[in-house]
Structure 1
């Protein structure tokens, strides 16, 4: 019988082991060298970057043109391109003195007022003061205002002198308009070199949506001191329902002793559960539900009008959109947040999914108001209504500018069509009745 010889672990020859050690050493050395080279490049770029930062877009084109002309001159020996490269580089050198110098400005940026309603006038003022001991030459200031850019020419200022510039802020539409920061610009007239200095922080102007006043009695809400009575039976509340036989574990304070003495059996009180009114406004900003931008803005105005009245009534309130849960502590906080509402696209597949995700952690509502545009299908309103149970009163607001404002009921759902913001109070009075 042949026996198979047992083999021990394979041994690596000294030469192969040495080669592997050398390979690992070279790999580590290469990694260290690459890391060192990256650090050196980053350090050099940190030093050089401020120099290139002052070269404007036109200056970069001129520099690239000079480099290209120099390469053509060297490769082909064309003297004309040598002159061209020299001229372009000379233009850059001539622009350098225009960015040299230090300004001693103090810039104060103010908006008056900080909050306006869409369409109202808002003004801004920029005050530039020379805080140095020497006179300053004329300079140029740039001030971003929203999506625009305002430019001001600041005249030469003596030591301690100041200069005021007034500007109007466009407030035709609801938005949060950011003014600033104010920056001074030094550079040549061709824009080859440009050096900027930031002097202020940005200032926000809140352009609130247009709202309408809703009478407290017309809000269609359940306003009470003790809460809304529900059909749920509990052993501890304030709205008496009936008596039942005592069961072990029932609190003795609920025993009705007079009835117990008459029947010879312990009887305890039952109560109907009451809860404070909690109103939830579900405002969808999905573009697929709105036909026009004006329709979207009218929907925001309806939401703001409803929420403002609820806050004034002191009722619990939650307002949700796809990207933002609005603050409801004060009317000002609410209006500031409504200025930030923006249209979204494709975040949720349906109104029901959005409402489910947005209200998952909110208190159970007693009143739900859903607000969407004219392209919202009524079946989506009905599907979202089923999330809140039978005890909740649900109102669907369908925004359609120019349409006849009306109130209708579809499969038990109250649908309010808003064609004009001014019609909102009277429609809510009809809901209340």
Structure 2
């Protein structure tokens, strides 16, 4: 017989057990102390934050220099460093007096107008009023506008008095320019301490892309296709195709009662689907397809011009770009969304991948327009064209700034080369003709 060795339980001495208990108690105590220390540090930081926030970079540098000077004085005994440290600290103490004071401002930032076309003039107005019962000292107001900051020196205001400042907003490029928030700044002239108070919310200015009016627009292509019969069979349409046997779930309104009575079996109508107007514009914002920033902006203008005319003509349209499906309910909403289009790099490997991903959930289009830069090969356009059926008309707008307008047909793909925005109406007339 094979004897199975029994496992003998290990006996722990009382001393070892006591040592383990002490270690566990110490470990738990250290963790508790660590949590308490973290909580105390966090609360201390929150309490001191209002004080530390008013210290500017120059103030922190001055404080650090005074500490270093005191240390050098203590080590070497040089009184000169003591004087230096005392002077720096005195400067900080004097600066404290400049940040005190309660302000009762009522500040408004207004832009006129809120929407402009790139290159048009846009003005802003800053109004500061004293809403309190006491006079206010002069103050500096800082107003971020786009990537810059405008500074205004507001004089002392008596009760109920107000002061206005006008400023120009740069609108030479398509963008969404944010003005605000307006903040008042109190502090010393050296910039040691700086106390800011926010008075307004940001205000957006939409700088729309330049567009051109298209008399004979892309919507003409859609209207020409409207009502055409396709090869797709459907249960609901107007073009009768044939009869078939009834299947549970079919609508009773499609039952052909005369044939059903003659054959003794329920028969329902089938139809050939007629084409419905649906236009899709695919705008590529990939930087590698454009030769310059100006060419990219021209592409946005071409896309916006096409979409605007289609919306005005009452045709359903979807506009997609990398990372964004533009709102096409109204011309204004389309232009506002087009202001937010930014160049992207490496978002999709190819135009085909982008088009497939962007149009996957959209209605099947009758016309597709693709807009991209001059550095994109025609083969890339053709590869994206294969995503759509044979009944879909596809146009490729190749943006090549300064190039003469050209129209070509490559294997069923209509390629329009646009060198200037003014060339777009004539090119579309040639396509529609």
TM-score by length of 1: 0.93
The 1:9–1:199 alpha-carbon spacing in structure 2 relative to 1, beyond 3 Å, is same
Q: Tell me the equivalent position of 1:24.
A: 24
The RMSD of aligned alpha carbons is 2.4
2:421 matched to which residue of 1? 421
Aligned partner of 2:305 in structure 1 is 305
Q: Residue in 1 aligned with 2:294?
A: 294
Report the Cα offset of residue 236 of structure 1.
Answer: 3.5
- Normalised to the residue count of structure 2, the TM-score between the two structures is 0.93
Report how far residue 266 of structure 1 moved: 9.7
CA distance in 1, matches of 2:265, 2:69: 110
- How many angstroms apart in 2 are the aligned matches of 1:425 and 1:138? 56
Asked whether the equivalents of residues 287 and 344 of structure 1 are also in contact (C-alpha less than 8 Å), the reply is yes
1-side partners of 2:202 and 2:181: how far apart?
Answer: 5
Which residue number corresponds to residue 105 of structure 2? 105
Q: Would you say how many aligned residue pairs link Structure 1 and Structure 2?
A: 430
Matches of 1:137 and 1:181, distance apart in 2 = 21
Q: After TM superposition, give the deviation of residue 19 of structure 1 in Å.
A: 2.4
Alignment map for 1:124-203 (pairs within 5 Å) = 124-203=124-203
Deviation track 1:126-179 (CA, whole Å, cap 9, x = no partner) reads 110011111111111110000011010101111110000000000000000000
Distance 1:293 1:390, change over 3 A: same
Please name the residue that 1:61 is paired with. 61
Classify 1:22/1:267 alpha carbon distance in 2 versus 1 (closer, same or farther; 3 Å).
Answer: closer
What displacement does 1:227 show? 4.0
Give the Cα separation in 1 of the matches to 2:68 and 2:231: 85
Are the aligned partners of 1:175 and 1:340 in contact in 2 as well (CA < 8 Å)?
A: yes
Q: What is the CA distance between 1:240 and its match in structure 2?
A: 3.0
| Secondary structure in 1 matching 2:245 | coil
2:245 corresponds to which residue?
Answer: 247
Contact 1:257 1:266 in 2 (8 A): no
With 63-72 and 8-17 compared, the bigger mean Cα shift is at 8-17
Q: Given that residues 219 and 432 in structure 1 are in contact (C-alpha distance below 8 angstroms), is that contact kept between their aligned partners in structure 2?
A: no
Whether 2:123 is the aligned partner of 1:123: answer yes
8-17 vs 165-174, which deviates more?
8-17
Contact 2:217 2:309 in 1 (8 A): no
Distance 1:10 1:134, change over 3 A: same
Map 1:232-271 → 2, pairs under 5 A: 232-241=232-241, 243=242, 246-249=244-247, 253=254, 255=256, 257=258, 270-271=270-271
Q: CA deviation at 1:205?
A: 0.3
How far 1:71 sits from its partner (Å)? 1.4
Q: Which residue matches 1:352?
A: 352
SS at match of 1:388: coil
> Equivalent residue for 1:81?
81
Provide the C-alpha distance between the structure 1 equivalents of 2:182 and 2:196, rounded to a whole number of angstroms.
10
Q: Counterpart in 1 of 2:43?
A: 43
Segments of structure 1 that go 5 or more residues without pairing to the other structure are none
Aligned equivalents of 1:426, 1:227: Cα separation in 2: 26
Q: 1:84 to 1:310 in 2, by over 3 A?
A: same
